[in-house]
Structure 1
Amino acid sequence: MQFGIFTVGDVTPDPTTGRTPTEHERIRDTITIARKAEEVGLDVFATGEHHNPPFVPSAPTTTLAYIAAVTERLLLSTSTTLITTTDPVRIAEDYATLQHLSDGRVDLMLGRGNTGPVYPWFGKDIRDGVPLAVENYALLRRLWREEVVDWEGRFRTPLQGFTATPRPLDGVPPFVWHGSIRTPEIAEQAAYYGDGFFANHIFWPASHTRQMVALYRRRFEHYGHGSADQAIVGLGGQVFMRHNSQDAVREFRPYFDNAPVYGHGPSLEDFTSQTPLTVGSPQQVIERTLGFREYVGDYQRQLFLMDHAGLPLKTVLEQLDLLGEEVVPVLRREFAARKPVHVPDAPTHATLRAAREHAAPSLDELGARAVAAER
């Protein structure tokens, strides 16, 4: 099982000091946090994509390419890549380039985004959110899998004899997770292609996450990709830890109360009882996280949000120490002991490449080869 962290890249005042970091500081701190994640033994670092204040990660591939250069084994991902407002050609070429720069240490999570104004900024209509996600991803898959693409759709200009460059590393496209908080169509899309489904699992109760994951698993099996319990599932989560749980609650409360996303709403106590947010000791985080398996089944990736709501860098790095030293080793051991042998691990470039080398050519590949030969 993969463990890691994801960031939304918010630039938020620290409510205990009133100081707001500069954009420069926040971007540089993101690099420090990613390097720390590798140092403490985590597997994955993922960054969001936002194009509005108070967020800074508007160019995730640039940030991830820099992180790739200063790390050795950390898997780089997104949370999320906006498949609705980012052109599929741009995604295909950017992430193939990142594959080469990172020697394959990259996958990505596609999503619709949760900021309404972003659609007109990029010439799109939010009412087309789901159709955009469906059409753009269908094109993206072809761009990565076919040398020459002729294509015409509803939302962009046609392509004639187009080849996306560079080609995916080793001929293996990055693994794709489809991320969603509340959209069943995205779970259906992930299942249709046999891709991963990432349930954000932050703002909603366990019953909602259970329903979304169950839908994805049923449809994954329906489309013939394997049994429902072999579907590839990832979960988000939020934690804040101190060795003494009372200290954790006292320290985190002002950050929670003033957070740009959930501040000035439910109390910290109500929110932690109704959602997966865990504020307490490392042991409480372990017990809560292990409990996720009870309602989503065996899953492959767990990412935690830890650097948000104005938390200073020093505190975030302390959180990562606790996560890497006291929480993740126990979670690795416990999840591994409970996982049946037929449930797969999360795909990586190495495993996808090995599977490709041992698989017979698909009909799509045979057709693409025939077209190339005719040319």
Structure 2
Amino acid sequence: MESLQAQPPLSKEGMNLIGEIMQIGIFSVGDRTADPATGRAPTEQERIKGTVELALRAEQAGLDVFATGEHHIPPYVTSSPTTLLSFIAAKTSTLNLSTSTTLITTNDPVKIAEDYAMLQHLSDGRLDLMLGRGNSGPVYGWFGKETRDGISLAVENYALLRRLWDEERITWEGKFRTPLQNFQSTPRPLGGKAPFVWHGSVRSPEIAEQAAYYGDGYFANHIFGPPQHTARMIDLYRDRFEHYGHGTADQAIVGIGAHAYIRKNSQDAVREFQPYFDNAPMFPGGSALSDYMAQTPTIAGSPQQVIEKTLSFRSYTGGVQRILFALEVGGVPLKTALEQIDMLGEHVVPVLRKELASTPA
């Protein structure tokens, strides 16, 4: 890793930002994919307000977390996650709010430090964020960066972000932005404690290393990849977490993501999900849904099947602190997505909590 020096062990207070109880929630990427049944895509306002409805329903259903992505390219509408999450914070009281991507590469670390500290105050501390590099190459150029610098930007920008949150005033000079002289970001983190940070990645070992180095959480967004790859990434993170003195490998803070589509019986789930699977640009065209589910964490089935497959993740992830489900891929309409949240909250989450509390990984 570039510019990494030995870090002190993660404090007990830092660990408590997440805690020992696993959190279960949902995440939305905010795309405006057309419903394959009608051919109609929601308007930008419909999609934005619909995302708020998803978050409110998640709290009503007893879920722990709602997370939103950050994208700056059509057909996505989630270009300003802090604005969206601030609005949701004002309408909720218990829901933990997060990002499923905050672009550490193209956002100014000063702006991230100030925006998310502000949101931390407004939400009474119900905030963490997941840093990532995104999946849209053109975004780098739009924000004056180079795609080839992605990893280096992630390393340098996060090193600066940590100092902005942890130190009252800093003097700093790096490669990718103008120097800072005796600078103080404002507002300061709530209660002097920075928001908890997850480092999200699908394929980059450098990001797993970065998360371990700082003692932060690592979110293995394994929604597309085979279990073997996810296992290697998580094992790397756990080994390096212990290497840097933050605790034992099994104390490392891991989160995972999965796609799900839930109906009372599996036949209905598969039949209904098939057109959304075929319609979603993130899925490989021409793949059989049954084959794809066998090879990835995607689940279309009954509540019991969702429970069983989710529990099976532990065979290669070990114990995890957070699971986020994507329930609206491929143009799933808002009404159906809300039904999915209700099914998740009523039939899946209580069993998962019980099983995961009583059975070691």
TM-score between both structures, scaled by the size of structure 2: 0.93
Instruction: For 2:214, give the aligned amino acid.
Output: Y
- Quick one: which amino acid aligns to residue 124 of structure 2? D
User: What residue in structure 1 maps to residue 291 of structure 2?
Assistant: 270
Deviation at 1:287, TM superposition (A): 0.1
3-state SS of the aligned residue for 1:202?
coil
1:60 maps to 2:90: no
Distance (whole Å) between structure 2 residues aligned to residue 305 and residue 48 of structure 1: 11
Residue 263 of structure 1 deviates from its aligned partner by 5.2
**Partner of residue 127 from structure 1, selected from 131, 141, 148:** 148
Matched, 1:182 2:203: yes
Alignment of 1:216-295 (within 5 A): 216-262=237-283, 264-295=285-316
Matched, 1:23 2:48: no
CA distance in 1, matches of 2:94, 2:60: 10
Counterpart among 90, 95, 100 of residue 69 in structure 1: 90
Q: Which runs of 5+ in 2 are unaligned?
A: 1-21
In structure 1, the residue matched to 2:220 is 199
Task: Kindly provide the CA deviation profile for residues 16-44 of structure 1, in whole angstroms up to 9, marking residues without a partner as x.
Answer: 11111100000000000000000000000
Q: Is the 8 A contact 1:150 1:159 kept in 2?
A: yes
Q: Distance in 2 between matches of 1:253 and 1:30?
A: 23
CA distance in 2 between partners of 1:266 and 1:62 (Å): 37
1:321 aligned to which of 305, 324, 342? 342
How many residue pairs match? The answer is 340
- The one-character-per-residue Cα deviations of 1:241-288 (angstroms, maximum 9, x if unpaired) are 111101111111111101121152422112111100001101000000
Superposition deviation, residue 339 in structure 1:
3.8
Cα deviation code 1:159-218 (max 9, x no counterpart): 011100000000000000000000000000000000000000100011111000000000
1:143 matched residue in structure 2: 164
Divergent runs of 4+, >4 A: none
Q: Deviations over 1:268-315 (max 9, x none)?
A: 112111100001101000000001111111110000001221111110
Three-state SS of the structure 2 residue aligned to 1:130 is helix
Q: Give, in whole Å, the separation in 2 of the partners of 1:91 and 1:252.
A: 37
SS of match in other structure, 1:100: helix
Aligned residue number for residue 12 of structure 1:
33
Structure 2 residue 111 is the aligned partner of structure 1 residue 87: no
Paired letter, 1:146: E
Instruction: Read off the aligned partner of 1:211 and give its amino acid letter.
Output: R
2:178 corresponds to which residue? 157
* Residues in 1 aligned to 2:129 and 2:343: alpha-carbon distance in whole angstroms: 26
In structure 2, give the amino acid aligned to 1:318.
E
Question: Tell me, what secondary structure is at the counterpart of 1:264?
Answer: coil
Amino acid at match of 1:118: V
The question of whether the paired residues in 1 share the 8 Å contact of 2:277 and 2:329 is answered with: no
Q: What is residue 113 of structure 1 aligned with on the other side? A: 134
* SS of 1:115 mapped into structure 2: coil
Q: Kindly indicate whether the alpha-carbon contact (under 8 Å) linking 1:92 and 1:164 is maintained by their aligned counterparts in 2.
A: yes
SS at match of 2:213: helix
| Aligned with residue 319 of structure 2, among 288, 291, 298 | 298
> C-alpha distance in 2, partners of 1:27/1:215?
37
2:288 maps to amino acid: S
Aligned to 2:231: 210
Work out the CA distance in 1 between the residues paired with 2:212 and 2:106: 22
- TM-score for the superposition, normalised by structure 1: 0.90
Do the aligned partners of 1:257 and 1:267 also contact (CA within 8 Å) in 2?
Answer: no
CA distance in structure 2 between the aligned counterparts of 1:220 and 1:91, rounded to whole angstroms: 25
Distance 1:300 1:265 in 2: 34
- Residues 43-86 of structure 1, C-alpha deviation per residue, up to 9 Å, x if partnerless? 00000000000100000000000000000010000011000000
Unaligned residue ranges in structure 1 (runs of 5+): 341-375
Secondary structure of 1:137's aligned partner: helix
User: Could you tell me whether the CA contact under 8 Å between 1:9 and 1:308 is conserved in 2?
Assistant: no
Q: 2:64 aligns with which of 43, 48, 52?
A: 43
CA distance in 2, matches of 1:38, 1:260: 29
Q: Does 1:307 align with 2:328?
A: yes
Quote the Cα distance in structure 1 between the aligned partners of 2:221 and 2:272: 25
- What one-letter code is carried by the residue in structure 2 that aligns with 1:40? A
Match in the other structure for 1:352: none
Q: How far, CA to CA, are the matches of 2:283 and 2:320 in structure 1? A: 27
Q: Which residue of 1 aligns with 2:15?
A: none
Q: Which amino acid aligns with 1:165?
A: T
